[in-house]
Amino acid sequence: MPLPPFASPDSPPPTHWVIPFASSLSAPCQHALPHVDAPGTLPRLSSLLGRLQVVARLEGDEYQLSMPHERVLAAEMGWEAADGLQPWAAWWAAQDGPGSAPLEADRCWALLSPGHWLMGRDHLTLLDPQSLGLDEATSKALLEALRALFEDEGWTLRWGAPTRWYASHPELDGLPTASLDRVIGRDPDIWLHEDPDGHPLARRLRRLQAEVQMLLYQHPLNDARSEQGLATVNSFWVSGCGRPPRTLTLPAVTRVLGELRAPLLGDDMPLWLEAWRHLDATALADLTQALDAGQPVRLTLCGERHAVTLASAGAPSLGRRLLDGLKQLAARSPQVTPSSFLASL
C-alpha cells in the first residue's frame, strides 16, 4: 500500500519519522502499555496524537510474513513484491559495506541468519541473533563449517556480517519467507509447518536445517561458546528472498528509529519504556519543533499487526486556529491516550 503524498509538487517533501516496534501483542508489552500514560512519560507523543491527522492505515495481522514497518519501508522505496517476497537480503547486503562480498544482481538471494533455537517444554523459540554476541571470526568459522552442506545442495554462500550471511540457489525465486523480526521470540514452526505454495525448495530447506542442527551439535565452536556461558549457534533462518531491486536506498527524508526493537523482542519492558522516553525527548522533540515551525511532517507508528501514518495538515491561519480551538472546547472530546493508540497497532 503506497503512502499518500502530503505536499504539493513544488514544496519540499515532509520528513517522515518511522518507529518500528511501537507496541506488541505480547503479554509483557500489554502489561507495560498503561505506564506510557503516566504524567510526563511521553508528553510529546501525547501532544502529537492530538495535533496530527491519521492519513493512512496499513492493516495486517500477527501471522503475516512481513512486519508492518518492513511493508512501510518497502513502499517508501517503491518495491512492489508480495508479502514474504520483499528482497531484504539485497538491502541488508548494501548496508554491510566494505569487507563484505557483493551479491550478483542477476541472482535471487536470501538472508541467512545464524541463530539459536531454544527448546522449551512445548515448543521452540528463536532467539534474536543480535543477542548471541557473535564476533567476525566465529561467524566466519561457523559459515565455513556449514559451507559443504549448502554447496552440495547447489547453494552459493556469502558472508556479510556476524549475524548476516547470504545464500543463493537456482530455485530460490518465488520462495515466500517470514521476516526474521516476525519470528524472533516466537515458535519458528508456526511458519514452517507447511511448504509455502508447494515451492520445490521449501521441504529441502527443512531437511537442510535438520542437517545443520546435527552438524553443529557439540561442534568445537559451540563447545567453546558453552564454556564461556554463551548460547550456541544451532540453526539458521532464511528470509528476505529476492533479486536485488533497482532501489536499495530509502528517501533522504525518511528517518527510521530503531531503538525499540531489541528491548521489545527481548521482552525487556523497563528498557523498552526507557527507549520510548528517549525517543519522546529526542526524535519526537525534533518532530514537534518542525511542526511548530509550520513544516510538513509524517509520523508512522508500527506495531505487530498494523502501521498508522499521521501527518500535519499544513499551517493554518490564526483565525483557523482560533476557530478550531473553540470547536475543541465545545466538543470536549477526550484525547486519544498513547496506550490506547499503541494498543491498536
Q: Give domain limits for the chain.
A: 15-74+250-343, 79-242
Task: From 47, 130, 52, select the one nearest 299 (Cα to Cα).
Answer: 52
| pLDDT tens, position by position, 46-101 | 999 999 999 999 999 999 999 999 999 999 999 988 999 999 999 999 988 766 66
Residue 265 phi, psi (nearest 5)? -65, -25
Q: Are 125 and 186 in contact (CB under 8 A)?
A: yes
User: From start to end of the chain, where are the E strands?
Assistant: 15-19, 53-58, 109-115, 117-119, 124-126, 156-161, 164-168, 235-242, 254-256, 297-302, 307-311
* Counts for the chain of helices (H) and strands (E), in that order: 13, 11
- pLDDT category, 114, cuts 50, 70, 90? very high
Q: Would you state the pLDDT for residue 332?
A: 35
- Return the ∠ at Cα 258 (arms to 72 and 109), rounded to 5°: 60
Structure confidence at residue 334 (pLDDT): 52
Q: What predicted TM-score, i.e. pTM, was given to this entire model? A: 0.88
Taking 60 as the threshold, does the pLDDT of residue 300 lie above it?
yes
Strand order in the sheet with 15-19: 53-58, 307-311, 297-302, 15-19, 254-256
Per-residue pLDDT, 296: 93
DSSP character at residue 256: E
